[in-house]
Structure 1
Amino acid sequence: MIVIYHHNNKVVEAVSEKENLNFSTNNVLNVLVEIAVCNPNELLVWCHYDLKSNLNLSEIHDVFHHKKIMASYNPFANFLLSDAIGYVEESPFIKVNKKVTYPTWQMSSCAGGLHASVLLELKNSIPTSDNFEYFLHSIAKLAMDNGLFCYSEPLLLRGFFDETQIRKNNKYVLFQFVKQHYKAHWVFLLFLNLFLYERKLAFLPLVFSLFYSKRNLKKEVLSTIEVKSSKKTIETEDIDVIIPTIGRKDFLYDILKDFSLQTHLPKKIIIIEQNPNLESVSELNYLRNESWPFEIKHIFTHQAGACNARNLGLAETKNEWVFMADDDIRINNSFLKEAFIKIRKFGLQEITFACYEGDYDRNKKYLKEIQWEIFGSGCSIVKHKFLENLTYRKGFEFGYGEDTDFGMQLRNAGLDIIYIPKPEILHLKAPVGGFRTKPVLQWQDDVIQPKPSPTVMLYKILNLSKEQMKGYKTTLLIKFYKSQSIKNPIRYLLYFNKQWNQSMYWANQLKNKV
């Protein structure tokens, strides 16, 4: 490990675990590259000189437990880019929870680290800059999609947190970053949103940003860097499986057979069978008539709904790991064994598997392990301790958004969502069971139909920043215009606002559901 202490973008001191190091320049980036070239197997740590006594060196090796981790911590109220970046990006990586380890590409120069081998791979693709923090943002933003795991990590600093200090943001830097890291049209949408919601005309920042070119990384840029985590996340490999089911007797049987043939068997499978017909009884006779190599907990309920079913299943889990599955998937015989190999290799506590519908679908998927925006309730393994105080919110029942909301609950508990391309799941997309009924939605008879769906709106008001909400409203307004019948822009805007307000009303009603 080598620590570089800096002040005003200039290096003050560079210290290895054995001695002070000499450097030929005092530019932070140049020093980092110079040291990386001479020490390609070392972890590089940076820290603002004023925070030297706060740098938590005892936790460094636990934070950077494999080479493809980039982490930093910003103890102040805001990042380099203003909150207006939310007008451009709707992802979970914008609204950072600083109390826990949280996935984000918004890096800080206050304290952080990156392995020298990663910097050497990226240095020729991303131009150096006098603005060290901008360079860190750029690396993380581009490399996140290429397998670099990026975090806000509170363990890096101890005894210094000043969220009352607000650093002045620069609109020129914001527009430059958007132009270099997003599709070109986003700078114009950023300009529009700043005018609509903040009454600010950022004309010059917009014009200057047009002179910058978009930055890109080659897809295989980090593929030669080996990952071998030193973090122990597995005590036992004991795993429970949750499977909600409704009207899919034969499909459920097939996946149970798949589990029975695993080279690493689950300890318990929890089946939540739903049938809203009050006179019905279970149709899963094979649960009793056949012998299974694991415990089966069968719950039969007349209350339909995925949120309720998964909550019933969660309450029955006890082992160290939980596989949250669907009733219409298929897996190979070594699936669970391969999953634990990946968990151990990356030091993970959650994985969301690639879930394919066929070869065409498979070709469109990511082929490397990356931080993922969406949690899959039917294709994920989670360490049990993170599930103990979480439930699926009832307001999402029979709508959309419960998966992504549950993923946000996990992130705010300090757990990252990681996509794993192998082992993979085949998703059969089985036809619905014969006794499934279309739910009666509270708003379906409203004269003015809500836009977007109230459950989608519920997810957004629970988890997005105010800028992300406003940016989403603008893009929805523009996208929806082409597909509706009102072509007069003024009439359309007035009607859209009524639909938006209707959605907000119902979302707030759903928010209060227990």
Structure 2
Amino acid sequence: MISLVHHKGIAITSNYNGLPIIEAVYKCAQENPDNYLLVYEKTADVDAFKAALAELNHRAYFFSNYNIAHPDIGYVEDSPFLNINKKVTYPTWLKGTAIVCMHANLINGSVHTHATIKNYLYWLNSIGKLSQTQGVLNYQIPTTIQNEEFKTYELYRFVKQHYKTRWIFILLLCHLWYEKRFPLIAFVRTIFNKKSSLKIDVNDLQAFKEIHAKANFEYDVVIPTMGRASYLKDVLLDLNSQKILPNKVIVIEQNADSHATSDLGFVKDEQWDFEIVHEFTHITGACRARNRAITLSSANWILLFDDDVRFENDFSTRIFDFIKDSKVKCVSFSCLQKGEIEKQSNYLQWPAFGSGCSMVHREVAESCKFDMALEHGYGEDVDYGMQIRNAGYDVIYASHIQMLHLKAPVGGFRKPHVFSWQEDTVLPKPSPQIMYHRSKNYTPKQLLGYKLTLFIKFYKHYSIKNPITYYKYFKKAWSKSIYWSQKLAQDANV
């Protein structure tokens, strides 16, 4: 690792002394193409930062200290990468300028698109934003807390260059509506800026260092099921054919009919090469079922599954190989329906989480729990992913580990659950589960940006065409959603 020290934007390391920091970084990267660069302000706590760095087992990492860049980005970005937990190493493309660690290969790959940028904060965040979607793993380490922000013009320029053009109009509307200000000059100055790009060889960056040591890989499988006996049997048969067998398969069978009995006679009647823990209940709900199953598990790794998937006999081997190389604690797989083709060619940080197609380490499972406020609704998997990030872990999507999701036409949770608000004259908008998730996991400005885009998006779907009348109705629907989302939280904690 090569160190490069700067002060107030000027390099002070001997070989690069006096150069603007971006110019010094490019020169240093060109002279040291096979190394990580540690670039830091001379007053920064570099020892604490280095101690918190992950094992650099590939070249696709990009770390910085904590910084927000600009809270108003929340008006336009709908992702889990903005509401950062400052107590843990958190996955986000946002960057600070006090301490940065990135590989020279990534820096050199940006020379044709970013070398003319003079603003160091802008340069770092642009590379972070563009590289994350391509497969560079971006993180903030909670040392040297900064609150260095883009100026208003830089904010509009960043949005124009890194998001679809419509988002600078949304940003302007948010500033006008919520903040009663009209930054017209910043808006006009950026309207003709071209989109930024970054061309890097991500496959080269992601190549893992060769690991010879063998790791212990034991896993349990968690499957909630409801009315899909034949599909579940196929899942068990696929598990039984794995080259690396599970220790236990924990099946939580649910049937709301108080007179019903189990449909899964084959669990006990047939021979399996692993232990099956089968629990039957009349209480339905995927959140409760998964939480219950996890408490019955004992292996270091837990495979969260649906009851209507199919996969090849090397499925667990591919998972093991990826975990061994990547050192990740949570991985979600490509879950394709028949006829679908995976478009992603490499692994990357995922803004979601698959509750039926993921492997998590026990450390993760003991830090997180499926939120009962979202039972019988939706969003529990995305919320679980947020819990993972807030616990100091990351969700990595491995596109090369694939399974088929049959989307069974029978069983499951296909009977709609009737919620109390469905009797209201004014129905909540968005659904209370979405409001609950967003209020819990996103920044206040992300929620306001979502509110405005929802208002615009659903205008054409409502029968009310008078804009003023529609606005009044939408306000009531939004308030109803807030009320019922708070009720969901209260009821879940009873």
TM-score bracket, normalised by the shorter chain, equals over 0.9
Distance 1:500 1:320, change over 3 A: same
**Per the alignment, in what secondary structure is the counterpart of residue 146 of structure 1?**
coil
Shift of 1:229: 5.2
2:304 aligns with 324
Partner Cα separation in structure 2 for residue 423 and residue 194 of structure 1: 43
**Per the alignment, in what secondary structure is the counterpart of residue 420 of structure 2?**
coil
- Kindly provide the CA deviation profile for residues 292-311 of structure 1, in whole angstroms up to 9, marking residues without a partner as x: 11111101110011111111
**Per the alignment, in what secondary structure is the counterpart of residue 335 of structure 2?**
strand
Contact kept in structure 2, 1:236 and 1:320, CA below 8 Å: no
Contact kept in structure 1, 2:58 and 2:209, CA below 8 Å: yes
**Per the alignment, in what secondary structure is the counterpart of residue 62 of structure 2?**
strand
2:19 aligns with 26
1:296 aligns with 276
Partner Cα separation in structure 1 for residue 412 and residue 402 of structure 2: 29
Contact kept in structure 2, 1:86 and 1:467, CA below 8 Å: yes
Contact kept in structure 1, 2:52 and 2:141, CA below 8 Å: no
2:6 aligns with 6
2:54 aligns with 62
Partner Cα separation in structure 1 for residue 212 and residue 463 of structure 2: 58
Shift of 1:449: 0.7
Partner Cα separation in structure 1 for residue 160 and residue 368 of structure 2: 39
Distance 1:479 1:434, change over 3 A: closer
The 10-residue stretch of structure 1 (428-437 or 139-148) with the greater mean CA deviation from structure 2: 428-437
Matching of residue 463 in structure 1 with residue 441 in structure 2: yes
1:90 aligns with 78
Matching of residue 382 in structure 1 with residue 377 in structure 2: no
2:99 aligns with 111
Contact kept in structure 2, 1:55 and 1:111, CA below 8 Å: no
Shift of 1:63: 4.9
Shift of 1:434: 8.9
**Per the alignment, in what secondary structure is the counterpart of residue 388 of structure 1?**
helix
Partner Cα separation in structure 2 for residue 469 and residue 447 of structure 1: 24
Partner Cα separation in structure 2 for residue 358 and residue 476 of structure 1: 32
Shift of 1:169: 4.7
Structure 1 unpaired stretches of 5+: 14-20
Which runs of structure 2 are paired with 1:81-230 in the superposition (5 Å)? 82-154=70-142, 157=143, 161=145, 166-167=147-148, 169-218=150-199, 221-228=201-208
Identical-pair percentage: 38
Distance 1:232 1:327, change over 3 A: farther
2:241 aligns with 261
The 10-residue stretch of structure 1 (239-248 or 426-435) with the greater mean CA deviation from structure 2: 426-435
Q: Which amino acid letter does the alignment assign opposite residue 303 of structure 1?
A: I
Matching of residue 508 in structure 1 with residue 486 in structure 2: yes
Partner Cα separation in structure 2 for residue 283 and residue 171 of structure 1: 62
The 10-residue stretch of structure 1 (425-434 or 477-486) with the greater mean CA deviation from structure 2: 425-434
- Kindly provide the CA deviation profile for residues 132-156 of structure 1, in whole angstroms up to 9, marking residues without a partner as x: 12101000100111110000123xx
Partner Cα separation in structure 2 for residue 473 and residue 58 of structure 1: 40
The 10-residue stretch of structure 1 (425-434 or 473-482) with the greater mean CA deviation from structure 2: 425-434
Distance 1:60 1:497, change over 3 A: closer
Contact kept in structure 2, 1:180 and 1:213, CA below 8 Å: yes
Counterpart pick for 1:448 among 392, 405, 426: 426
Matching of residue 347 in structure 1 with residue 360 in structure 2: no
- Kindly provide the CA deviation profile for residues 342-385 of structure 1, in whole angstroms up to 9, marking residues without a partner as x: 112222111000100023x225x322101001100000000011
Contact kept in structure 1, 2:10 and 2:17, CA below 8 Å: no
Q: Which amino acid letter does the alignment assign opposite residue 128 of structure 1?
A: T
Shift of 1:231: 9.6
1:17 aligns with none
TM-score, normalization: structure 2?
0.95
Shift of 1:223: 2.5
Shift of 1:61: 6.0
Q: Which amino acid letter does the alignment assign opposite residue 384 of structure 2?
A: F
Counterpart pick for 1:362 among 341, 346, 350: 341
TM-score, normalization: structure 1?
0.92
Length, aligned pairs only: 492
Q: Which amino acid letter does the alignment assign opposite residue 298 of structure 2?
A: K
Structure 2 unpaired stretches of 5+: none
Counterpart pick for 2:64 among 49, 56, 72: 72
The 10-residue stretch of structure 1 (127-136 or 439-448) with the greater mean CA deviation from structure 2: 127-136
1:491 aligns with 469
Partner Cα separation in structure 2 for residue 57 and residue 490 of structure 1: 53
Partner Cα separation in structure 2 for residue 114 and residue 234 of structure 1: 29
Shift of 1:326: 0.2
